[in-house]
């Protein structure tokens, strides 16, 4: 049954129908579609637009359809889209009263409303999953606070850092993602219902009633904009893309840190994979897949931006393309966050390997320069003197900790006996006690700061 057959002499051809349909994917909207229809029918009844007797039949019919879809008794199939399906089923069940449901409404404001309800719930879901991930990172940080690991720039050892600071860095990123999803949710919580096809309606509707029933913060102010606005889908896809960008960085670290070359973390067998030909391999397929899927979600973001950019006001069927992109991005985001939270709970830290690595690569050189600067040598000269020491070490196969006082003093006489004990791997990390820094105290403050902000969600 088509909702619009009256004007046509012939039915739509099978291939055109198959190309045009969206039920195969927008069936996911069945719950929100019924929820919005219940609110609309309640409003029509309250405003006296549809007689109470008919409205009650509509409401009863919608509840029954909802229960039957939920139980599996009613299969969602055989219609152009979810809106046609629910309305067609209603008319099948209650007859002519069902034909009054679409009074003062169009599929254009209906689908825009459905999508907002669906994306709103999905933003809440994303926030909850991100929260679980940050909680996991906080517990890893608490464990890591006792240990020191290498900090990198340009993927070269730079300075020793407290291990908690490392995990806190990712918590900061994911907290921003949670904020972004919350802001996206707030901005999208505006109700298009009542905008009808594009220009509003001549029926004496009360949009306040549907707004309250559906939990929207506001009512849209312009019907042309309301039916054709999919900014919220693009915004959700951006939030998802950036959250996955952060997760993908963590994947990259995981792949490096669990390699034989680094050996800082272990992934347990249950979260690893093997090779069909090389018996010795233990591969990080899960982080690689998450990193790979990130690109797919970026694709959906670029897709929706491109779909929107050339549309004349108001609704155009191009907008139907928002759904597959959104559903796939949502599913991808949720599965990536879930698997990574499980994985981060299971990794184990090789604390001695991390500590040993933290002292290599002259990673305390900045502290040697700082030692001199704190004794009055201008920092630039201290930097140059320490650079000379590093070169001396490289030429003689030594580490900075192997040097004698005489060797130190050969490049600058401001070095005293205490330099031999002042500059160690641990003291290097511990010395940076500035807010947000790498000392144990600063990292513990970082954990508290993360937990404080987590409480807002």
The least CB distance from residue 227 to ligand ARG, in Å, is 9
Nearer to ligand ARG, 111 or 247 (CB): 111
Query: How many residues sit in the footprint of ligand ARG (CB under 6 A)?
Result: 10
Nearer to ligand ARG, 29 or 343 (CB): 29
Q: How far apart are CA 352 and CA 338, in angstroms?
A: 30
| Burial state string for 364-374 with b = 16 or more CB within 10 A and e = fewer than 16 | bbbbbbbbbbe
Nearer to ligand ARG, 81 or 87 (CB): 81
Nearer to ligand ARG, 319 or 336 (CB): 319
300 as an active site residue: the answer is no
The least CB distance from residue 166 to ligand ARG, in Å, is 44
Of 154, 317, 452, 455, the one binding ligand ARG by CB under 6 A: 317
Binding string, 256-295, against ligand ARG, x = CB under 6 A?
A: ----------------------------------------
The least CB distance from residue 348 to ligand ARG, in Å, is 48
Active-site hit among 24, 139, 259, 275: 275
Nearer to ligand ARG, 320 or 433 (CB): 320
Closest residue to ligand ARG using C-beta atoms:
320
Nearer to ligand ARG, 26 or 177 (CB): 26
- In the numeric block, which tokens belong to residue 235? 């915004």
- H helices then E strands: how many in the chain? 19, 6
Contact 220, 226 (CB under 8 A): yes
Asked if 425 interacts with ligand ARG (CB under 6 A), we say no
How deeply is 125 buried, as exposed, middle or buried, from its count of CB atoms within 10 A (0-12, 13-18, 19+)? middle
Q: With CB under 6 A as the contact rule, which of the stretches 134-142, 316-324, 362-370, 445-453 interacts with ligand ARG?
A: 316-324
Q: With CB under 6 A as the contact rule, which of the stretches 143-151, 235-243, 314-322, 331-339 interacts with ligand ARG?
A: 314-322
Asked if 164 interacts with ligand ARG (CB under 6 A), we say no
Nearer to ligand ARG, 107 or 293 (CB): 107
Contact 457, 127 (CB under 8 A): yes
CB within 8 Å of 452: residues ≥ 6 apart: none
Q: With CB under 6 A as the contact rule, which of the stretches 104-112, 128-136, 228-236, 297-305 interacts with ligand ARG?
A: 104-112
Q: With CB under 6 A as the contact rule, which of the stretches 169-177, 311-319, 338-346, 349-357 interacts with ligand ARG?
A: 311-319
Binding string, 33-72, against ligand ARG, x = CB under 6 A?
A: ----------------------------------------
Of 283, 320, 335, 401, the one binding ligand ARG by CB under 6 A: 320
CB within 8 Å of 379: residues ≥ 6 apart: 369, 373
Q: How far apart are CA 281 and CA 303, in angstroms?
A: 38
HSE of 125, CA atoms in CB hemisphere, 13 A: 17
Asked if 107 interacts with ligand ARG (CB under 6 A), we say yes
Asked if 108 interacts with ligand ARG (CB under 6 A), we say yes
**Among 387, 396, 395, 394, residue whose Cα is nearest residue 369:** 387
154 as an active site residue: the answer is yes
* ∠ Cα 15 17 22 (to 5°): 125
Binding string, 69-88, against ligand ARG, x = CB under 6 A?
A: ------------x-------
The least CB distance from residue 116 to ligand ARG, in Å, is 13
Q: How would DSSP label each residue in 357-397?
A: HHH-TTTTHHHHHHHHHTTT--HHHHHHHHHHHHHHHHHHT
Q: How far apart are CA 322 and CA 349, in angstroms?
A: 42
Q: What is the β-pairing status of strands 190-191 and 218-219?
A: parallel
Of 137, 138, 173, 319, the one binding ligand ARG by CB under 6 A: 319
Inter-CA distances, 124 with 1, 26, 293, 298, Å: 36, 20, 21, 21
Residue for token pair 């290097």: 428
- In the numeric block, which tokens belong to residue 265? 């973390």
Q: Which ranges in 72-162 belong to alpha helices (H)? A: 82-94, 107-144
Asked if 111 interacts with ligand ARG (CB under 6 A), we say yes
Q: What is the β-pairing status of strands 265-266 and 348-349?
A: antiparallel
Catalytic residues: 154, 275
- Residues interacting with ligand ARG, by CB under 6 A? 22, 26, 81, 107-108, 111, 315, 317, 319-320
């Amino acid at each position: 049954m088509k909702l619009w057959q009256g004007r046509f002499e012939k039915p739509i051809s099978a291939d055109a129908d198959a190309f045009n349909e969206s039920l195969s994917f927008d069936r996911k909207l069945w719950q929100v579609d019924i929820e919005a229809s219940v609110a609309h029918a309640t409003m029509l009844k309250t405003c006296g637009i549809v007689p109470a007797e008919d409205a009650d039949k509509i409401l009863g019919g919608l509840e029954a359809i909802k229960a039957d879809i939920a139980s599996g008794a009613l299969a969602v199939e055989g219609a152009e889209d979810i809106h046609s399906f629910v309305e067609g089923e209603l008319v099948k069940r209650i007859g002519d009263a069902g034909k009054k449901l679409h009074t003062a409404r169009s599929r254009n404001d209906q689908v825009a409303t459905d999508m907002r309800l669906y994306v709103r719930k999905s933003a809440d879901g994303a926030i909850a999953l991100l929260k679980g991930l940050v909680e996991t990172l906080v517990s890893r940080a608490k464990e890591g606070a006792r240990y020191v690991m290498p900090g990198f720039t340009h993927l070269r050892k730079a300075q020793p850092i407290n291990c908690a600071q490392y995990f806190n860095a990712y918590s900061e990123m994911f907290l921003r993602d949670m904020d972004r999803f919350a802001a996206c949710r707030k901005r999208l919580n505006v109700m298009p219902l009542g905008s009808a096809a594009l220009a509003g309606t001549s029926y004496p509707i009360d949009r306040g009633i549907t707004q309250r029933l559906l939990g929207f913060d506001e009512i849209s102010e312009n019907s042309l904009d309301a039916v054709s606005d999919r900014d919220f889908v693009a915004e959700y896809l951006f939030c998802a893309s950036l959250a996955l960008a952060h997760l993908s960085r963590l994947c990259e670290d995981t792949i490096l840190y669990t390699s034989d070359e680094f050996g800082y973390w272990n992934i347990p067998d249950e979260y690893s994979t093997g090779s069909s030909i090389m018996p010795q391999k233990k591969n990080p397929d899960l982080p690689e897949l998450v990193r790979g899927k990130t690109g797919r979600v970026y694709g959906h973001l670029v897709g929706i931006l491109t779909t929107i950019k050339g549309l004349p006001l108001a609704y155009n069927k191009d907008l139907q393309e928002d759904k597959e992109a959104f559903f796939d991005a949502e599913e991808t985001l949720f599965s990536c966050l879930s698997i990574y939270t499980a994985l981060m709970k299971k990794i184990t830290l090789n604390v001695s390997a991390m500590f040993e690595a933290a002292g290599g690569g002259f990673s305390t050189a900045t502290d040697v320069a700082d030692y001199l600067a704190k004794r009055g040598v201008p920092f630039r000269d201290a930097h140059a003197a320490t650079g000379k020491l590093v070169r001396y070490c490289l030429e003689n196969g030594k580490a900075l900790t192997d040097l004698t006082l005489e060797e130190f003093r050969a490049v600058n006489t401001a070095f005293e006996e205490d330099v031999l004990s002042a500059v160690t791997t641990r003291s290097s990390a511990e010395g940076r006690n500035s807010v947000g820094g790498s000392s144990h105290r600063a990292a513990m403050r970082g954990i508290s700061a993360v937990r404080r902000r987590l409480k807002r969600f």
